């Protein structure tokens, strides 16, 4: 299956084999797998439906490596009911591809083929862009459902660590890659799952992490449970971080109230948001007030009296960006001013970012406390004759054509480190083909309020 390259990660293979044998020794009735490569939605956690599924590693050149599993349909129904009762957006709707994904088949390989155990049924759960707390809460429900059904169950949190650990890796190198791996491995080694919930979203994004939400869900499944943590291996031979850890319960669920990491996260998040609110300037505060009033009361606010003159007397284009847990949640703006004041521009664009960005569903009231706002005030665009006049850290770029197509990208974005990438992404947003379309380039600067 590894086409000979598995020798480069022998410690990972050995650790996986050890975990597979331990699972087989427990003879679980149900194995619950959370995976970043199953069906994934922005605002919905997908649980695989039906009697079972199969898959193979054909996309990796190993079509003969085939796997199948029967699903625990009773467990799935109970979990969906529990999620609905708890107000967690999770269920079996919207399955696009029923095939088993590779992040599910890898642990199945070591349980079924290496350890020779097949006496279980599977529950497969995809991830989402919802907050760490939502994933943690669904993990808690997994444990509650298992206990309620009297199931002997094992939880497998599948997923890689960083994808940017080495310059020769398929995704390149970022210093945040090894840093992310070190932080997660320390959480695995110590069993302190609060570290998994409180990782800096910007660091995680730059590290191109894969499995963090899977690990956060696992933390919920072990909520208030004493465990013996073991980090069995960590390698990044191919530029991708592979970590294998094992957490063995050493007492009943609920017997370690100090390990309620969801409660710890909520208190940490409240402190973090309070600090953010205390440091907000008038630009960000105005964007927040505008969107919150619209979502909660259905009305648009008028810019209040007493704003600084640069808001109440100036006109400028502005973009409002929304993020949740470091992930973009909406971004709408105007290149040139279309309203009487910059304050009015920000108010309108904040509402549009939360309700009219076609890439995302409308912001719900319960999401408002999680939102982080950026307001970018634009200078008037100026022509850029060639790409040598661009700088992705200093300038935003506008790529346009004579027939009116236009794509814009703001400056200083995580993961956009070259002019080539900046122009390519902006062109794609405008439906522009750089190979065949005649284009014009413009640049602008922004004053960012975060």
pLDDT digits (tens, 9 = 90+) for 173-223: 999 999 999 999 999 999 999 999 999 888 898 899 999 999 999 999 999
**Can you tell me the mean pLDDT for 234-257?**
96
Tell whether the model's pLDDT for residue 6 goes beyond 80.
no
Q: Could you tell me the two tokens for 260? A: 């309620």
Tell whether the model's pLDDT for residue 140 goes beyond 60.
yes
- Under the banding of pLDDT at 50, 70 and 90, the label for residue 450 is confident
Q: 154 near 246, Cβ under 8 Å?
A: no
Tell whether the model's pLDDT for residue 326 goes beyond 80.
no
Give phi and psi for 212, each to the nearest 5. -60, -45
- Under the banding of pLDDT at 50, 70 and 90, the label for residue 2 is very low
pLDDT at 201: 83
Tell whether the model's pLDDT for residue 304 goes beyond 70.
yes
pLDDT over 90, % of the chain:
84
Q: Which domains does the chain have, with CATH numbers?
A: 5-270 (3.40.830.10), 280-374 (3.30.700.20), 379-450 (3.30.1490)
pLDDT digits (tens, 9 = 90+) for 362-409: 999 888 888 889 999 999 999 998 899 999 999 999 999 999 999 999
For residue 244, the SS3 value is strand
Q: What is residue 111's DSSP assignment?
A: I
pLDDT digits (tens, 9 = 90+) for 275-297: 877 888 999 999 999 999 999 99
CA max distance for the chain: 73
* Total Cβ atoms within 10 A of residue 271: 10
For residue 294, the SS3 value is helix
**How far, in whole angstroms, is CA 116 from its chain's centroid?**
34
Q: Could you tell me the two tokens for 99? A: 């095939």
pLDDT at 311: 96
pLDDT at 5: 59
pLDDT at 88: 96
How far apart are alpha carbons 248 and 222 in whole angstroms?
10
pLDDT at 4: 53
Instruction: Output the average pLDDT for the chain.
Output: 94
Give phi and psi for 428, each to the nearest 5. -60, -40
pTM score, whole prediction? 0.80
pLDDT digits (tens, 9 = 90+) for 26-73: 999 999 999 999 999 988 999 999 999 999 999 888 889 999 999 999
Nearest to 60 by CA among 118, 8, 6, 113: 6
Q: Could you tell me the two tokens for 181? A: 């791996």
Q: In this structure, what is the dihedral angle of CA atoms 345, 414, 323, 243, given to the nearest 10 degrees?
A: 180
**How far, in whole angstroms, is CA 258 from its chain's centroid?**
27
Q: What is the DSSP string of 145-159?
A: HHHHHT--EEEEE--
- 178, containing H or E segment: helix 176-190
């Amino acid at each position: 299956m590894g086409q000979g390259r598995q020798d480069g990660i022998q410690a990972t293979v050995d650790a996986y084999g050890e975990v597979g044998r331990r699972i087989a020794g427990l003879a679980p009735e149900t194995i619950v797998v959370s995976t970043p490569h199953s069906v994934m939605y922005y605002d919905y956690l997908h649980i695989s439906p039906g009697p079972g599924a199969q898959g193979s590693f054909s996309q990796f050149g190993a079509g003969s490596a085939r796997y199948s599993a029967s699903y625990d349909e009773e467990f799935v129904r109970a979990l969906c009911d529990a999620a609905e009762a708890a107000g967690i957006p999770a269920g079996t709707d919207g399955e696009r591809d029923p095939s088993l994904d590779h992040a599910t088949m890898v642990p199945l390989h070591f349980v079924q083929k290496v350890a020779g155990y097949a006496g279980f049924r599977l529950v497969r759960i995809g991830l989402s862009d919802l907050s760490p707390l939502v994933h943690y809460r669904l993990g808690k429900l997994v444990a509650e459902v298992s206990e309620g059904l009297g199931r002997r169950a094992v939880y497998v949190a599948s997923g890689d660590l960083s994808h940017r650990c080495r310059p020769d890796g398929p995704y390149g190198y970022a210093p945040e890659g090894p840093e992310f791996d070190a932080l997660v491995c320390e959480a695995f080694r110590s069993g302190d799952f609060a570290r998994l919930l409180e990782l800096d979203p910007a660091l995680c994004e730059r590290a191109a992490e894969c499995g963090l939400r899977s690990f956060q869900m696992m933390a919920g499944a072990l909520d208030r449970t004493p465990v013996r943590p073991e980090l069995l291996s960590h390698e990044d031979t191919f530029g991708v971080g592979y970590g294998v850890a094992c957490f063995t319960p050493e007492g009943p669920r609920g017997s370690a109230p100090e390990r309620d990491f969801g409660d710890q996260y909520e208190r940490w998040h409240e402190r973090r948001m309070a600090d953010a609110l205390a440091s907000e300037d008038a630009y960000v505060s105005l964007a927040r007030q505008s969107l919150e009033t619209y979502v909660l009361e259905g009305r648009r606010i008028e810019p209040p009296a007493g704003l600084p003159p640069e808001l109440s007397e100036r006109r400028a284009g502005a973009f409002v960006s929304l993020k949740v847990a470091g992930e973009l949640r909406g971004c709408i703006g105007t290149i040139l001013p279309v309203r009487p004041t910059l304050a009015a521009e920000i108010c309108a664009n904040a509402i549009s970012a939360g309700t009219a960005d076609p890439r995302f569903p409308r912001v719900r009231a319960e999401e408002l406390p999680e939102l982080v706002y950026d307001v970018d005030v634009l200078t008037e665009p100026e022509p850029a004759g060639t790409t040598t006049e661009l700088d992705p850290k200093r300038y935003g770029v506008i790529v346009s054509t004579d027939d009116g197509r236009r794509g814009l990208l703001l400056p200083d974005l995580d993961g956009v480190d070259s002019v080539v990438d900046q122009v390519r992404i902006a062109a794609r947003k405008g439906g522009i083909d750089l190979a065949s379309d005649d284009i014009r380039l413009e640049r602008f600067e922004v004053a960012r309020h975060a």
